Amino acid sequence: MGGMQERITTTTKGSITSVQAVYVPADDLTDPAPATTFAHLDATTVLSRGISELGIYPAVDPLDSKSRMLDTRIVGEEHYNTATRVQQMLQEYKSLQDIIAILGMDELSEADKLTVERARKLQRFLSQPFTVAQVFTGIEGKLVDLKDTIRSFKAIINGEGDDLPEAAFYMVGDFESARAKGEKILAELENKA
């Protein structure tokens, strides 16, 4: 694979991009065979059974997935900082899951509860309404500009969606869509009460 990757290049007439599917035995990313392969790749996208079980699609694990392109010189400072903050918050949530499973949410500090709530919203926001999947999901596909995506993640991290239910962030394109969906959900709940 390394030899093939070395031959991939950009020319004046275009470029070749290679997408490799790598089987990871027992989902062990440290297994020597896939670990050696990953060294030749610019990015790895790890699909997760656990995320799929939550009904979040695409089931990409943002903590195990990596990209050499996530560098301030390539993506810019705002994009890099936002992506890093998202990963940090999701990692904090992951580290709190054992405590939550044993003791419950009530035993967490207020700061940890807020981290969990925002991380769960981020997790749902990572779901994507693809146009090609519309026939399967019944949800209209959305194309979202990168700047809007970054702004939306910053809004969630900074607590602008703290007043919205978690479900508002599932399969929406941007923060404004989540806000509209959340207000609709809250209005429906209020009408039932």
pTM: 0.84
Structure confidence by residue, pLDDT tens digits, 102-156: 999 999 999 999 999 999 999 999 998 988 888 878 888 999 999 999 999 999 9
DSSP class of 47:
B
Burial class (CB in 10 A: 0-12, 13-18, 19+), 10: exposed
Tell whether the model's pLDDT for residue 64 goes beyond 80. Answer: yes
User: Which CATH architecture group holds 71-192?
Assistant: Orthogonal Bundle (1.10)
Q: What is the pLDDT of residue 13?
A: 78
Tell whether the model's pLDDT for residue 167 goes beyond 90. Answer: yes
Contact between 61 and 47 (Cβ < 8 Å):
yes
